[in-house]
Structure 1
Amino acid sequence: MTNALSKMLDTHDWLLADGATGTNLFNMGLMSGDAPEFWNVDHPDRITALYKGAVDAGSDLFLTNTFGGNASRLKLHDGQSRVFELNKAGAEIGREVADASGRTVIVAGSVGPTGEIFEPMGTLTHSAAVEMFHEQAEGLKAGGADVLWVETISAAEEYIAAAEAFALADMPWCGTMSFDTAGRTMMGLTSADMVKMVDKLANPPLAFGANCGVGASDLLRTVLGFAAAGPTRPMIAKGNAGIPKYHDGHIHYDGTPELMGEYAVMARNCGAKIIGGCCGTMPEHLSAMRKALETQPIGEVPSLEAITAKLGGFSSASDGTDGAGPEASPRRGRRRKA
């Protein structure tokens, strides 16, 4: 299948993705507990500003404000009947921003986890998950998304269900998981496990990788784990802008634009082709990442020691690929920022 993203992957050494959605929307007035997806209809000007902030900072690709846009998540806000409407609206705003940019910018329809647990531990069935993801995918497709983008997934079953749903929608897709539990996903997958899973999918993604998690250091260790497993598809790195700190009633991330610039270059050197940020990543971080990627040449694959020296220590002693258990290690002191 030839599409806008596959063309860009074929013709670019790297692509800059976007940054945070929630962090930026909270700065615009979103309150904790609110459904951001409602803003696609109620405050389209703010969603336009969200997307435009990433595009103006140099992003080649941005995710729509539809992370929690499935029926299970929207049901918490009595919005389960609005799945198609809210996803279509989020993608339509993105299409307008991308088309007005004067260059090729990919609109990626964000699809987050259902928030439910699969059988037999929970009640979610494979067919129900596929149905929810398919409903969301059709809304994003109708709104003009170039590609679907499932993210922050912990369970292999959910990733597999999304792949099936996106095939039903006849849409290309990408997918990332969150390795936030001692180098593994919350449901126990390692980076090597993910590579094996992706290779076996009947409808594989255009690109795969990791997002969110703990911090930039941990995420790069996961990307190195992907690379060591011999992937056949482009890798994605979308790390948080440092570590969250609670200050004056708000969560702040301690990653400076300079640190995120270093992270972006190291992510590329680790083998990632699509590089962006996650929680805490603002337009100023993206601008620094773009400048660093454009001005610094590709270097050697960084060692774990080099990663920790520049970005701070890991949150655990192992990433799980060595068979070690989830034994936590004290985070080393982070480098002092200007």
Structure 2
Amino acid sequence: MHRGLLERLQSGEVLVADGANGVRLAAYGYRPGEAPERWSLDHPEAMRAIHAGYIAAGADVVLTNTLGGSRPKLAPYGLGEEVAAINRDLALLLGDVIARSGREVFLAGDVGPTGALLAPLGALEEREAIAIFREQIAALVAGGAGCVFIETMMDLGEAAAAVRAARECCDLPVIATMAFNPVRDGYRTMMGVTPAAAAEALLAAGADVVGANCGQVQAADMPALIRAFRAAGAPLVAVEPNAGLPQLVGEETVFSQTPEEMAAAVPDILAAGANLVGGCCGTTDAHIRRIAAAIRGGAATGAPGAEPA
């Protein structure tokens, strides 16, 4: 039995998370209009190859392809009654890939936004949101998830509800990250949440690790975000930057930052005190391989103020 996720992070080890699934699914033939989660189960060889590629690249934490696996996200595809089966089966698929890899890898159950607004801005009540997240998380745990990774959140109430749901239905490490955009006085989510407010509320809700992913930020923005989380008292911080800023080329959103360009930001990310580093939109196994090499070749202490080698 390898050491637990929190034990390794708390010891000062910096771990590597995987990268994007969307860009890789497209390479295997997925097209918008289908539920990515259902498509992944209908084309298991593609999903297995994507997971295996990230593991081979050096990822220590690999996420299930279930970002849109909640009932409100699956229902428009006619899959509302398949929430439990889809999430469980995608976790089982990833677990099998990990077992075959021969590496010590943590299986993270991925949870994203519901797409609905919480009251008072919308009709979704907190207890209803918690129930929605509980349904998904319970299925991920049944499939073998060893931690819960809540990501790409913009509404703090929704993010906190997801954390509370995880705490209600399992006793596993909980990672919660939000999507930030640059503003005049720092960074905020689309709903106006600051890194400090996010850290305080998510930790109070029960998160073990907090951080940032996605949004209108890239790797170079992460050190400032990490420092903001640390200043707010976050003991462990995770970041998953995009491969540069999104650019619209024709009708396609493109992220053009190369693996080498992303990896160049790693020393500053480590110096700011990151504990878990992966990739979000536009990243591939090539990006993760470079990030992993930069982390393992540097002074990866995971402590704020640590100087890179």
TM-score by length of 1: 0.83
Structure 1 match to 2:30: 30
Q: Aligned pair in 2 of structure 1 residues 248, 144: CA closer, same or farther (>3 Å)?
A: same
Q: Aligned pair in 2 of structure 1 residues 3, 152: CA closer, same or farther (>3 Å)?
A: farther
Structure 1 match to 2:175: 174
Structure 2 match to 1:20: 20
Q: Check the 8 A contact 2:19/2:285 in 1, yes or no.
A: yes
- 1:206-285 to 2 correspondence within 5 Å? 206-214=208-216, 215-231=218-234, 233-247=235-249, 249-285=251-287
Structure 2 match to 1:125: 125
Counterpart-to-counterpart distance in 2, 1:65 and 1:240: 17
- Structure 2: gaps (5+ residues): none
- CA deviation map 1:7-34 (0-9, x unaligned): 3324452000011111111121111232
Q: CA deviation at 1:197?
A: 1.1
Q: CA deviation at 1:228?
A: 2.4
Q: CA deviation at 1:52?
A: 0.7
Structure 2 match to 1:79: 79
Letter in 1 for 2:246: P
Moved over 4 A (4+): 298-302
Q: Aligned pair in 2 of structure 1 residues 34, 119: CA closer, same or farther (>3 Å)?
A: same
- CA deviation map 1:143-180 (0-9, x unaligned): 11111111011111112211221122114221111112
Q: CA deviation at 1:45?
A: 1.1
Counterpart-to-counterpart distance in 1, 2:266 and 2:118: 35
Q: How large is the Cα RMSD of the aligned pairs?
A: 2.0
Counterpart-to-counterpart distance in 1, 2:271 and 2:177: 19
TM-score by length of 2: 0.91
Counterpart-to-counterpart distance in 2, 1:264 and 1:34: 35
Q: Check the 8 A contact 1:112/1:153 in 2, yes or no.
A: yes
Counterpart-to-counterpart distance in 1, 2:3 and 2:68: 25
Counterpart-to-counterpart distance in 1, 2:274 and 2:98: 23
Counterpart-to-counterpart distance in 1, 2:27 and 2:265: 24
Secondary structure of 1:211 counterpart:
strand
- Structure 1: gaps (5+ residues): 303-338
Letter in 2 for 1:70: S
Letter in 1 for 2:160: I
- CA deviation map 1:48-104 (0-9, x unaligned): 111111101000011110000000011121111110011001100111111222121
- 1:29-68 to 2 correspondence within 5 Å? 29-68=29-68
Q: Check the 8 A contact 2:110/2:149 in 1, yes or no.
A: yes
Q: Check the 8 A contact 2:68/2:113 in 1, yes or no.
A: yes
Counterpart-to-counterpart distance in 1, 2:247 and 2:221: 17
Q: Aligned pair in 2 of structure 1 residues 298, 62: CA closer, same or farther (>3 Å)?
A: closer
Structure 2 match to 1:193: 197
Q: Check the 8 A contact 2:69/2:86 in 1, yes or no.
A: yes
Counterpart-to-counterpart distance in 2, 1:133 and 1:96: 24
Q: Aligned pair in 2 of structure 1 residues 181, 74: CA closer, same or farther (>3 Å)?
A: farther
Q: Check the 8 A contact 2:138/2:170 in 1, yes or no.
A: no
- Which deviates more, 216-225 or 50-59? 216-225
Counterpart-to-counterpart distance in 2, 1:81 and 1:56: 35
Q: Check the 8 A contact 1:88/1:143 in 2, yes or no.
A: yes
Letter in 2 for 1:31: R
Structure 1 match to 2:88: 88
Counterpart-to-counterpart distance in 1, 2:211 and 2:70: 22
Counterpart-to-counterpart distance in 1, 2:131 and 2:300: 43
Q: Check the 8 A contact 1:94/1:107 in 2, yes or no.
A: yes
Percent identity (aligned): 34
Q: Check the 8 A contact 1:264/1:276 in 2, yes or no.
A: no
The answer to which structure, 1 or 2, has the higher relative contact order (CA under 8 A, 6+ apart) is 2
Q: Check the 8 A contact 1:40/1:89 in 2, yes or no.
A: no
- CA deviation map 1:299-325 (0-9, x unaligned): 9959xxxxxxxxxxxxxxxxxxxxxxx
Total equivalences in the alignment: 298
> Larger C-alpha radius of gyration, 1 or 2?
1
Counterpart-to-counterpart distance in 2, 1:253 and 1:43: 25
Secondary structure of 1:213 counterpart:
strand
Structure 1 match to 2:289: 287
Letter in 2 for 1:254: S
Letter in 2 for 1:200: A
Q: Check the 8 A contact 2:159/2:202 in 1, yes or no.
A: no
Counterpart-to-counterpart distance in 1, 2:200 and 2:116: 24
